[in-house]
């Protein structure tokens, strides 16, 4: 039995929620940039990102349904598929709850918003980056439920990007909230409550 349609449905709900959430966020006062200035994100740089993103999607799509991508790394049973769906749905729900708690402070890229607030409610009581926690859980559930090489590769790539983004976002928060954020870091873990 295949559970692919269930995974597509769960991830589609999350994408739709994220697209709706693009509206109503606060404007950015400062955007992180590898060049260290907020001005460097203006002009040509966003277009470079878009072109690199399109190139990545084109290359990934070319190999997404190839024989290697569909190869199973782990055997999948009906029980494993159902467990994977439960994990995936839980991760998506957790990420959506965190996105809701963040409200107008949310941004797709590391930035400080005008009137930025340090949110410590909802899922932010337990972890500092609950959106990423939810994404990793959802991807892990998808891998457990499908067992495919492509899902494992996506999970690995996502973890790498998330670890890099956490380092950047933590530095921004320390800069913006030098008194509050160190205490918040002592009380919470980055991704997994009580562990990491």
Domain boundaries defined on the chain: 4-187
CA 34 to chain centre: 20
Residue 173 to residues 8, 138, 179, 192, Cα–Cα distance (Å): 34, 26, 10, 19
Check residue 186 and give its pLDDT. Answer: 92
pLDDT of 141 higher than 90: yes
Structure tokens at 59: 């290359």
CA angle 49, 33, 117 (to 5 degrees): 110
Q: Is the pTM value of this prediction over 0.95? A: no
pLDDT: which is higher, 153 or 60 = 153
Question: What CATH architecture does domain 4-187 belong to?
Answer: Up-down Bundle (1.20)
pLDDT of 34 higher than 50: yes
**pLDDT-wise least confident of 54-58, 111-115, 136-140, 150-154:** 54-58
Q: How would DSSP label each residue in 3-49?
A: -HHHHHHHHHHHHHHHHHTTTTPPPEEEE--TTS-GGGGSTTHHHHH
Check residue 55 and give its pLDDT. Answer: 60
Q: End-to-end distance of the chain based on CA atoms, in angstroms? A: 35
Contacts of 178 (CB under 8 A, 6+ apart): none
Check residue 124 and give its pLDDT. Answer: 94
pLDDT-above-90 percentage for the chain: 30
Band (160; pLDDT cuts 50, 70, 90): confident
């Amino acid at each position: 039995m295949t559970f692919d349609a269930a995974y597509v449905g769960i991830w589609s709900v999350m994408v739709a929620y994220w697209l709706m959430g693009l509206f109503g966020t606060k404007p950015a006062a400062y955007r992180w940039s590898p060049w260290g200035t907020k001005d460097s994100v203006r002009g040509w740089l966003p277009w470079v990102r878009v072109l690199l993103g399109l190139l990545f999607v084109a290359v990934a799509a070319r190999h997404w349904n190839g024989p290697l991508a569909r190869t199973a790394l782990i055997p999948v049973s009906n029980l494993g598929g159902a467990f994977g769906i439960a994990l995936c749905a839980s991760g998506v729900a957790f990420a959506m709850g965190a996105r809701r708690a963040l409200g107008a402070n949310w941004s797709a890229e590391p930035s400080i918003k005008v009137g930025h607030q340090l949110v410590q409610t909802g899922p932010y009581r337990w972890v500092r980056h609950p959106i990423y926690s939810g994404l990793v859980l959802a991807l892990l559930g998808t891998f457990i439920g499908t067992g495919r090489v492509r899902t494992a590769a996506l999970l690995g790539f996502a973890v790498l990007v998330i670890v890099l983004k956490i380092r950047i976002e933590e530095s921004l928060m320390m800069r913006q909230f030098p008194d509050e954020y160190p205490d918040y870091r002592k009380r919470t873990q980055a991704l997994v409550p009580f562990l990491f």
